[in-house]
Amino acid sequence: MGPLKYYVSFDAYGHARQAISNAQLAEAYQNDPASFLQAMCRRGSDVDAHPVSGHVEILSFNSPKELQEHLDSLGDKLDDIYNKDY
């Protein structure tokens, strides 16, 4: 098994907000990183709310643990990273 691809959204300050797997991107966002970013940049559930800035990075790791270790090295902790099915 090769490296796993993860999509990580970061806010405008470079703090990781959420990570999803390639399979989750396909299921929830139709394989569109821009849709993932748009969802992450919404403030709350109000459709008319002003969006926040951010970006999505595509990272490859051999396991979710390696991804978490990388994010921890940045000083960021993602809630619920292991609550998703990869």
Q: Per-residue pLDDT tens for 29-80?
A: 999 998 998 888 876 655 555 667 888 999 999 998 999 898 888 764 555 4
> What is the three-class DSSP state of 72?
helix
CA distance 28 to 8: 14
| Token output for 38 | 């748009």
Distance CA 9, CA 18 (A): 5
Reference 41, options 7, 2, 71, 12; nearest CA is 12
Please tell me the predicted confidence (pLDDT) of residue 82: 46
Q: What is the pTM of this model?
A: 0.74
